[in-house]
Structure 1
Amino acid sequence: MRSVMWPGMKWKVHPLFVVLMAMSAWTPYFGQMLLLFATVLLHELGHVGAALLFGYRVKDITILPFGGVARLEHGSLGWQPRHEAIIALAGPFINFVLLFLVIFLSGIGSLSDSVSSFLIQINLSLAFFNLLPALPLDGGRILRAALARTLGFRKATGVAIGMAFILSAVLLITGLLALWAGFVQAGMVTLGVFLFVSAWQLRRQLYYDTIRFLDTKRRQRNKRPLPVRSLAATADTPLIRVLAQFAPDAYHVVYIRGGQDHHLRILTEEELLEAAMKPGGIRLPLGRIFAE
């Protein structure tokens, strides 16, 4: 993975992009690859600009042949659904701005038909592909942001990862069927493999991402009013099952029923999060937490 520091953040270029650039260096398509790289770079700068406007610090950005992935400091993207949705939309928004700019420049004769046609094609492709509702694409982040308040961070992330597996299967099957029929669709197969591998990696780290989300929620003391989400569980319910339903931008209160004295007990968000951060605490039943 090639990387460079600028400015205050690390920029990485995915090996697949490096290979494609190298393969095109001695072909007539090298100019198109440079235009693709510039378009992807501007797409990512849209995400960076939106993130900086919200006060986030960007840790690193990975440039892919069909988009990119920006990671924020402390992995905080996703903790605030409204911010995540706007930051995700900023990339495709840049592509649509570029699209109209290309059409305008082509109309006044400043761009050749071949260049304008290629730029229109890649901007439309980048915008619509990245808006597919699957993580790690922009559309997957928008989907997670839309679902997180009702399903919780972990479940919403799981849905967006599941969509990535479904879409990767559709792309792979369609690409292979096209190949069998005599039409070469290497791009579709490549995108399918990329989505599948990315979804697999995200699913493997979902547990750790959830822990980081909960730890951030524990350390932050939100001063603005928040909606209260009430959950009900039994005394023998493992804490991890309750925490899986914790949502961003909400304060949680859990009602415990079915204890030995049959009284209804209440655990607050702070009590649950503090218990979760203790060794082995995340596996404890709620009744044990209350007893402690």
Structure 2
Amino acid sequence: MNKGKWFGFRFRIHILFWVVIGLAVLTGHFLEVLTLFVLVLIHEMGHVAIAKELGWTVSEVQLLPFGGVATMEEAYATDPLDEIVVSLAGPFVNVVMMGLSFLCWSTGIWTEEWARFFLVSNAIIAGFNLLPIWPLDGGRIVQAILCKCMPYRRAVLLSMGASTVMAGTMLGISIFEAQISLLLIAMYLLVVNIQGFVRFPYQFFRFLMEKYVRQPEEGEVQAISVQPEETVIQVSRKLRRGASHLVYVQGTGLLPEEKLLHALLFEQMHDTEVGQLV
């Protein structure tokens, strides 16, 4: 992969991108394929712009043969509503460009054929990214909504499980319909979600660590009621994204979230009963 660093984040181009460009040249569709990749890049920059406006750290933008991915450092413990806004920014940019194509056609700047190609391309990019499959924008939105309704661990595992099923279904359809491009996309999404399950223990640790670091910033406070015999690790699985918690240990008292996380992350008290921490 080609790597570079622009505007404070890494920019990577997958090697298969150049293969696609080469095939486009050979088949006489270079301008169309190049336009699609530029539109994907602009889509990703929409995410980057809003993420930076919210104070997030963008670590990488990767251009794939069939799309792009922007990686944000703060995508774990921040408010789920911020995640929804960032996820919608990319499709919103495509909608704006759809309006631009109509304007350029109506004023005679573009031909009807080119304006239609530009409009349809943006519609496909926006529509595809809004599919409810993680890590697409739609999948991130679904996961953020679930995080608003339930503990982080359960929300992520549920969304990834649903995404795996949908990616597998897409794979089956692509095989039945003999659609090579859809097959490659479905395989990529399926592999990414399987990797997500494998890496989730690390992701969950990142979530807990970010919550501990962000304690002074989180405004919303939620109460959790637990039994005194529940362990520190069991209670940590009930924590939600974008909020701090007061843990009410029944019959014992209140346990601040900071103390719970410190015991888990720095004192290795995973299996200690929370009743002993009050």
Q: CA deviation at 1:280?
A: 3.6
* Residues 1-292 of structure 1 mapped to structure 2, 5 A cutoff: 1-72=1-72, 75-80=73-78, 81-179=80-178, 185-223=179-217, 225-235=219-229, 237-257=230-250, 263-278=251-266, 280-287=268-275, 289-290=276-277
Alpha-carbon separation, structure 1, partners of 2:57 and 2:12: 16
Is contact 1:238-1:285 (8 Å) kept? yes
Is contact 1:78-1:145 (8 Å) kept? no
Q: CA deviation at 1:23?
A: 2.2
Is 194-203 or 216-225 further displaced after alignment? 216-225
Q: CA deviation at 1:137?
A: 0.8
Q: CA deviation at 1:56?
A: 1.9
Q: Give SS of 1:5's match.
A: strand
Is contact 1:40-1:65 (8 Å) kept? no
Q: Give SS of 1:253's match.
A: strand
Is contact 1:88-1:139 (8 Å) kept? yes
Q: Give SS of 1:177's match.
A: helix
Task: Compute the TM-score of the two structures, normalised by the length of structure 2.
Answer: 0.91
Is 7-16 or 91-100 further displaced after alignment? 7-16
Q: CA deviation at 1:16?
A: 3.2
Is contact 1:16-1:64 (8 Å) kept? yes
**How many residue pairs are counted as aligned between the two chains?**
277
Is contact 1:63-1:69 (8 Å) kept? yes
Kindly report the root-mean-square deviation, in angstroms, between the aligned alpha carbons of the 2 structures. 2.0
Q: CA deviation at 1:112?
A: 2.8
Alpha-carbon separation, structure 2, partners of 1:112 and 1:59: 39
Alpha-carbon separation, structure 1, partners of 2:189 and 2:114: 29
Alpha-carbon separation, structure 1, partners of 2:25 and 2:228: 64
Q: Which residue of 2 aligns with 1:182?
A: none
Is contact 2:218-2:242 (8 Å) kept? no
Q: CA deviation at 1:253?
A: 2.4
Is contact 2:223-2:248 (8 Å) kept? no
Alpha-carbon separation, structure 2, partners of 1:253 and 1:16: 49
Alpha-carbon separation, structure 2, partners of 1:281 and 1:64: 42
Q: Give SS of 2:115's match.
A: helix
Is contact 1:229-1:250 (8 Å) kept? no
Is 146-155 or 107-116 further displaced after alignment? 107-116
Matched to 2:226, the amino acid is A
Gaps (5+ residues) in structure 2?
none
